[in-house]
Amino acid sequence: MLHSLESFFTEVENFCEFGENTLIEHKQICGQSVPFYVNEFWTSKQRAAHSLHEVSYRACFKPQLPRFFLERLTSEGDVVYDPFMGRGTTLVESALHGRKVAGNDINPLSKILCLPRLSPPSQEEVAAGLDEISLETTAESKQGEDPELLAFYHPDTLSQISALRSYFVSREKEGELTDVDRWIRMVATNRLTGHSSGFFSVYTMPPNQAVTAARQRIINEKRDQQPVAKDVKAIILKKSKQLLSKLTIFDEDLLEKSLPLLTTSQAESTDEIASGSVKLVVTSPPFLDVVDYRTDNWLRCWFNGIDSSDLPISQLKSEKLWVAKMTKVFVELKRLLESDGVIAFEVGEVKKAKLMLEDLVIQAALDAELKVHGVMINAQEFTKTANCWGVDNKSKGTNTNRIVIISK
């Protein structure tokens, strides 16, 4: 059901789906009284999400977050946009709900991880596509091998990965990548490293980031482990089956209608996207210098023939620089929004909860001459007894979803 912003906030104020009433308090930010709405507005349970989302990426939010907003603030056929799309959570969830989608990320890995899930092949097509790819070592694939990677992979496994890498890099250069190729490349990228037998690597860090080869050698020594041979094609087939497990004919029809437009530009300069075309923005920006996306993705970039050192990814250490960057982004979002469009801008606590990024978001939005309507805090049970204006539960990182609601 499509809500106006007024009726949306009426629902938020009276929300009690998970047994708690919404706590409402006001905070003075940039000279105006900003209402904060605290509740558990959506569950974080993985089983509540579609299987297509199960691709790991650093600092990504659950699909239940964009679903809450798109179900209430858009109708089928409206455009939902994410200027920092990451693994593409907003886009995939919106497409599965019949919305058209647009996304941007300066890191080309985002497009590689997102686009295939908006046009997924069948399991049979994946199997047939893999059968057509030779993983035999060639002079070209051997040249692309880095012996440092033997810290992660058995020599036979590294040979298969290098052959697969060579195939995709060559096919992309020649403009011959098929949708099935893109799917297999996406799954392989997701399976490069991890902490279970379902990955190509020996036990290592969680799959949303890759340690250095030197660090991996230390992990191997401490765990007294050596990389074992893996069947790369079998792992890709297994993960594909998992990703496609909940996909229905109805889903496929909705995805086909999503007409995705994906760009790899700076978020403040997305000329490919038409002015006044976006109904809803749901996004989460880089949190100052908390996450090093370039370093975390070095191995994924290698596999996809991307030089991660050349990526112009912002690592903004100062609050002043971050506000200046986000102000430019908001000016661009203002151009893209329909007259009644809405921005749901998710941030979290950083610096051990001593800095609330919503304060900086609000400053940037006001500097861009946008309207700030309030901040929703999705607080799970473990933070509900804490002070949501300075959460300290003796853990690092983000403790709550904090979403600033903004419009023209």
The CATH code of the domain that includes 58 is: 3.40.50.150
Taking only the tens place, the pLDDT of each residue in 9-52 is 999 999 999 888 999 999 999 999 999 999 999 876 655 789 99
* Residue at which a domain ends, from 208, 243, 278: 243
Q: Do 139 and 55 share a structural domain?
A: no
Taking only the tens place, the pLDDT of each residue in 213-261 is 999 999 999 999 999 999 999 999 999 999 999 999 999 999 999 999 9
Residue 205 falls inside a structural domain:
yes
* 118's tokens: 């908006």
Predicted local confidence at residue 171, as pLDDT: 96
Dihedral over Cα of 369, 375, 378, 381: its sign: positive
Residue 100 falls inside a structural domain:
yes
Number of domains in the chain: 2
Predicted local confidence at residue 352, as pLDDT: 52
Taking only the tens place, the pLDDT of each residue in 90-136 is 999 999 999 999 999 999 999 999 999 999 999 999 999 999 999 99
Taking only the tens place, the pLDDT of each residue in 175-204 is 999 999 999 999 999 999 999 999 999 999
390, amino acid identity:
G
Q: Do 94 and 127 share a structural domain?
A: no
Place of tokens 């909860």: 353
DSSP 344: E
- Residue predicted with more confidence, 287 or 264: 264
Mean pLDDT in residue range 140-144: 74
Percentages helix, strand, coil for the chain, rounded to the nearest 5?
Answer: 40, 15, 40
What does pTM read for this prediction? Answer: 0.92
Q: Do 274 and 377 share a structural domain?
A: yes
115 vs 51: CA distance, rounded Å = 15
Residue 403 sits at φ, ψ, to 5 deg, of -115, 120
Pairing assessment for the beta strands 23-29 and 32-39 based on DSSP bridges: antiparallel
295 vs 284: CA distance, rounded Å = 19
Predicted local confidence at residue 394, as pLDDT: 37
Residue 382 falls inside a structural domain:
yes
Residue 298 falls inside a structural domain:
no
Predicted local confidence at residue 395, as pLDDT: 42
Q: Do 339 and 386 share a structural domain?
A: yes
Q: Do 340 and 280 share a structural domain?
A: yes
Predicted local confidence at residue 57, as pLDDT: 82
Q: Do 383 and 278 share a structural domain?
A: yes
Predicted local confidence at residue 300, as pLDDT: 93
CA angle, corner 58, sides to 301 and 181, nearest 5? 45
Residue 351 has pLDDT above 60, yes or no: no
Confidence of residue 163 (pLDDT cuts 50, 70, 90): very high
Residue 2 has pLDDT above 70, yes or no: no
Q: Do 397 and 278 share a structural domain?
A: yes
- Residue predicted with more confidence, 50 or 137: 50
Burial of 132 from C-beta contacts in 10 A (0-12 / 13-18 / 19+):
exposed
Q: Do 393 and 348 share a structural domain?
A: yes
Residue 114 falls inside a structural domain:
no
Which of 392, 293, 316, 403 is CA-nearest to residue 351? 392
Q: Do 268 and 226 share a structural domain?
A: no
Predicted local confidence at residue 233, as pLDDT: 98
Taking only the tens place, the pLDDT of each residue in 366-407 is 999 999 999 999 976 544 434 444 444 334 434 578 999 999
Q: Do 400 and 272 share a structural domain?
A: yes
Predicted local confidence at residue 95, as pLDDT: 98
Q: Which residues of 364-386 are buried (b: 16+ CB within 10 A; e: fewer)?
A: bbbbbebebbbbbbbbeeebeee
Predicted local confidence at residue 382, as pLDDT: 40
Q: What percentage of the chain carries pLDDT values higher than 70?
A: 87
Place of tokens 């539960």: 393
Q: Do 270 and 400 share a structural domain?
A: yes
Residue 310 falls inside a structural domain:
no
Q: What range defines the domain where residue 361 resides?
A: 5-104+264-291+315-407
Strand partners, 98: none
Residue 308 has pLDDT above 90, yes or no: no
Place of tokens 């992990």: 219
Q: How many CB atoms lie within 10 A of CB 172?
A: 16
Residue 79 falls inside a structural domain:
yes
Q: Do 271 and 384 share a structural domain?
A: yes
Residue 299 falls inside a structural domain:
no
